[in-house]
Amino acid sequence: MRTEVKIDFDGACLMGDPHSLMRAVGCGPDVVEVFGPVLKRLPICVTLDDSDARLPRLLELFKQHGVEWSEYRRDRYTDDEIQAARLIVMDASDLMSGIFAGPRVGTQYDMSEACKLCGAGARQTSAMVVDGERLQVLEGKRATTTWYNDILVEEKLAGALAESGATGLSFRGVFAAFEKRGHFQLPWRQLCATHTLPPMSPRSTGTKLSQPCPCGRSCFGTFWEVPPRLAYRASDLADARDVNVTWEWFGSVNFNGDVYDSVLAYPWFLVTPKVWRIFRDAGVTGFDWLPIRIEDG
């Protein structure tokens, strides 16, 4: 396992030519991406391992020039490390590159056992309905997510998953909603989990509670600067399936009691290497695969 660091900053704030200054600290085009210029800004992203000797030199350069920056850290694992894992977090690299869907588009939910304050525990009862005006984001993909971490797979990949005999797995249909033309079924399926894991160990790191709900279940999030590392007690995994979701719900919440005018948090998916191999062999990108840690007891 290695930890990757993405450094984002405005190159226009450097006193001098950004490309020359990057080369001066050893950062060439293999690790530097330039997005711009955009208006008067020059967005730049530098990707390094956290053990790379160039990282402290780069940060010292920023300090000398008075440049502000942000750091985004995520763990990267080899295929062998993922293969050896008991369960793997299926973490979408960028939810906003997925498709808008959910209750505000027409997906229906049973709220009878959900938290009355945050909506955690809402149970979907209909097919997944997505925004028909955004279908272009599905083009060329075999799997993607909605903005709220619902996982969608195209029909052939859904078939491969079903034929694998993976446990804890079910599917729902996916429909596109158009304002004046109604709903049309798409050749996609929503991947669903039938099993919810017990709460993760308090020794999990890189997760935080922002404005926690009294139910203790929602408003979990992650830090940019600290990679998420989920831990579970071995005894809590005795009934784990090939496809599971966390008891905890992540992401922002805006719940006023009306689910169809709300933003709900969502659980994370945890899958076995068996499921990961199917996604890998299908050439699926857009997900980070993060093995969990297992504690005794």
Sketch out the chain's domains with CATH numbers.
2-76 (3.30.70.2880), 79-295 (no CATH)
Within 10 Å of residue 14's Cβ, how many Cβ atoms?
21
pLDDT band at 212 (very low <50, low <70, confident <90, very high): confident
Say if strands 128-131 and 169-178 run parallel, antiparallel, or are unpaired.
parallel
What pLDDT does 181 receive? Answer: 77
Q: Answer whether 9's CB lies under 8 Å from 62's CB.
A: yes
Q: Answer whether 213's CB lies under 8 Å from 115's CB.
A: yes
Backbone angles phi and psi of 136, in degrees to 5: -65, -25
What pLDDT does 267 receive? Answer: 95
Answer whether residue 89 shows pLDDT above 70.
Answer: yes
Answer whether residue 25 shows pLDDT above 90.
Answer: yes
Question: Cis omega before residue 37 (within 30°)?
Answer: yes
What pLDDT does 219 receive? Answer: 82
Q: Average pLDDT, stretch 196-218?
A: 90
The overall average pLDDT reported for the chain is: 94
More confident residue, 200 or 254: 200
Answer whether residue 297 shows pLDDT above 70.
Answer: no
Tokens of 203: 């020794």
Backbone angles phi and psi of 176, in degrees to 5: -95, 135
Tokens of 178: 């158009």
Distance from C-alpha of 276 to C-alpha of 79, rounded to nearest angstrom: 10
Q: What is the tens place of the pLDDT at every residue in 228-268?
A: 999 999 999 999 999 999 999 998 888 888 888 888 899 99
